[in-house]
Structure 1
């Protein structure tokens, strides 16, 4: 009986601290994209260093990885970009789009101009 109680208590204590399944604070109100849905990559970049995210809005990046950039945040969030990481082997990491500091990557191939300004929504910063 004591085992079940401690297990239930442990799970209950972990739930409030979980970020998954809830909106997080917005990093910016606007972003620059190649199109109105931000569905086309703006550029390809290579990671200069490892990046370990502080919360679920961000993606982890390892030095040398290829990053496809889909959006560049504006105004107060202009230091962050949104993109996805491509591993050397596709199945090594779950594909997802997230934010990262622009300073941890270097642009290697421009693809499309980031000329479309789009308002961010709560879903841009939602933790799944």
Structure 2
């Protein structure tokens, strides 16, 4: 007669524990949807108090891949609408949206992108107001 088998391998619980720790660590580092991450800037320029009217529109000069959920992916040639421009330490980033168009059925999504990616083709607002950024500006 054989001795009863242990249903778990000796290292299985350690492996599960290590995987759990890895997931917890990664989830604390990588921002996900509906999570506030650090502010890119303390001030912004907008056309109105709610930053709901576009400042300008332009065409993407190059592809841009978003590094995290605060940013948007842009494909070269897409039309980009700019709703805000960060000031101070984040002055190289604009806030806006891209339209799907011939790049598929991509919904219009708001997010940040480097200003160098977009060539402004039309100015839609001339008088910009300076506003403080809030945590909501950087929520995913």
Q: Structure 1: which 4+ aligned runs deviate by more than 6 Å?
A: none
The Cα shift of 1:79 comes to 0.5
Aligned to 2:132: 119
Once the two structures are superposed, what CA deviation does each residue of 1:1-59 show, in whole Å capped at 9, x if it has no partner? 98xx96xx57x726445422321111110100001110100001100000001111110
3-state SS of 2:137 partner? helix
Aligned to 2:60: 47
* Greater share of residues in strand: 1
Aligned to 1:101: 114
Aligned to 1:35: 48
Q: What is the TM-score normalised by the length of structure 1?
A: 0.84
Instruction: Write the distance in 2 (CA, Å) between the matches of 1:53 and 1:98.
Output: 9
The Cα shift of 1:102 comes to 0.2
- What are the ranges of 5 or more consecutive residues in structure 1 without an aligned counterpart? none
Instruction: Write the distance in 2 (CA, Å) between the matches of 1:26 and 1:70.
Output: 17
- What are the ranges of 5 or more consecutive residues in structure 2 without an aligned counterpart? 1-6, 9-14
Q: Which has the higher contact order (CA 8 A, sep 6+)?
A: 1
The structure number with the bigger radius of gyration is 2
Decide whether the 8 Å contact of 2:60 with 2:79 is kept in 1.
Answer: yes
